[in-house]
């Protein structure tokens, strides 16, 4: 079955490379100049040092989406709704695997609900878990989780998308897998800010642990299973992203913590997910102090000192 990866950024390109060992994989990239450069140089500026196998087929003709039996959507969370609206007819009836980690700012929906609304007859699924694009592209061992509400479709996708070093677990807990991936990015910004601001490793561990507690509270309130959050998309990805400056979310936080200009050039999903996560928390009566602080830090409404006081001055409580 022909696979098409939509989105020629770091993750989409890495997935196309990893999946291309068993036959050609189309990589839909909307910019024809970028496609020409990828075809000529067999590389991508988003993945320095990685060469694209001949079986990765960059294509700016969106009809490659129509030809595919499975489409992986490596499009950032805030761009997914627009992408689906533009290509709705080409995507109709297919399994669509969202690879984004975020919550839509305008609708407060995760990627699979965005797919269900945008392409009602598609089979929505989500792929998430600890994985830097550069690791996947180099064929380093990676374990991810693929969640699909339809158990049979999920098992078929798991089989079709697993490769030697790319090991996919499956789940039917779509909400848990989506929220694990989306919310950990927010906590990674908090950890980056702590490290960038010189607050120390103990502060990072505290933020990871209390951050995980609030991620789990919100996910449970939204129908997720608690054990999903303790899995790859949740605790696993939290450990990766909060502990490494290969993470863009972590680096964004580091810049904020140092008082530098954090910039807007890179995709930093946690910066746009903090606010909608908070709106969902308020709607469900859930306390998310770390997420609140990140939303305000990212918006420039408080600085690191203000954030620190906010968290430390909270009333003492049971763990």
Ligand X SMILES: O=C(CO)COP(=O)(O)O
Q: Give the footprint of ligand NAI on this chain (CB under 6 A).
A: 7-12, 30, 46, 74-77, 79, 82-83, 99-102, 131-133, 267, 269
Total H helices, total E strands in the chain: 15, 8
Residues 131-170 as x/- pattern, contact with ligand X by CB under 6 A = xx--------------------------------------
Q: How far is the CB of 309 from ligand NAI (least distance, A)?
A: 30
Rank residues 100 and 207 by Cβ distance to ligand NAI and give the closer one.
100
Do residues 206 and 282 lie in contact, with contact meaning Cβ atoms separated by under 8 Å?
no
Task: Name the CA dihedral angle for 55, 57, 63, 68, rounded to a multiple of 10 degrees.
Answer: 30
Q: How far is the CB of 181 from ligand X (least distance, A)?
A: 7
Buried b (16+ CB within 10 A) or exposed e, 101-128: bbbbeeeebbbbbbbbebbeebbbbbbb
Q: How far is the CB of 55 from ligand X (least distance, A)?
A: 25
Does the annotation flag 9 for ligand binding?
yes
Q: How far is the CB of 31 from ligand NAI (least distance, A)?
A: 7
114 binds, among ligand X, ligand NAI, none (CB under 5 to 8 A by kind): none
Question: Long-range contacts made by residues 80-84, C-beta under 8 angstroms, separation at least 24?
Answer: 80/104, 80/111, 80/114, 80/115, 80/118, 81/106, 81/107, 81/114, 81/117, 81/118, 83/6, 84/114, 84/115, 84/118, 84/119
26 binds, among ligand X, ligand NAI, none (CB under 5 to 8 A by kind): none
Residue ranges at the known binding site: 7-12, 30, 101, 129, 131, 133, 184, 237, 247-249, 269
Which chain residues interact with ligand X by CB under 6 A? 101, 130-132, 185, 188, 237, 240-241, 247-249, 269
Catalytic site positions: 184
């Amino acid at each position: 079955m022909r696979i098409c990866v939509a989105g020629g950024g770091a993750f989409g390109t890495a997935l196309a490379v990893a999946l291309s060992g068993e036959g050609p994989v189309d990589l839909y990239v909307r910019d024809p100049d970028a496609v020409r450069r990828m075809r000529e140089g067999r590389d991508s500026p988003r993945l320095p040092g990685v060469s694209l196998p001949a079986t990765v087929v960059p294509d700016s003709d969106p009809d490659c989406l129509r030809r595919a039996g499975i489409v992986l959507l490596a499009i950032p969370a805030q761009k997914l709704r627009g992408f689906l609206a533009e290509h709705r007819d080409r995507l109709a009836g297919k399994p669509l695997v969202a690879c984004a980690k975020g919550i839509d700012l305008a609708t407060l929906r995760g990627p699979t609900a965005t797919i269900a609304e945008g392409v009602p007859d598609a089979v929505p699924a989500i792929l998430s878990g600890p994985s830097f694009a550069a690791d996947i592209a180099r064929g380093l061992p990676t374990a991810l989780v693929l969640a699909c509400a339809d158990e049979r479709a999920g098992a078929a996708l798991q089989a079709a998308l697993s490769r030697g070093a790319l090991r996919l677990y499956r789940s039917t807990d779509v909400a848990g897998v989506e929220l694990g991936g989306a919310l950990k990015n927010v906590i990674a910004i908090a950890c980056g800010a702590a490290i960038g601001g010189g607050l120390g490793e103990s502060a990072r561990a505290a933020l990871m642990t209390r951050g995980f507690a609030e991620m789990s509270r919100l996910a449970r309130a939204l129908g997720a299973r608690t054990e999903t959050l303790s899995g790859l998309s949740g605790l696993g990805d939290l450990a990766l992203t909060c502990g490494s400056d290969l993470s863009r979310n972590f680096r964004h936080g580091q810049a904020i913590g140092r008082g530098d200009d954090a910039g807007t050039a890179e995709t930093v999903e946690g910066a746009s997910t903090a606010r909608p996560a908070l709106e969902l928390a308020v709607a469900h009566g859930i306390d998310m102090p770390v997420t609140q602080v990140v939303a305000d830090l990212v918006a420039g409404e408080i600085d690191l000192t203000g954030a620190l006081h906010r968290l430390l001055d909270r009333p003492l409580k049971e763990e």
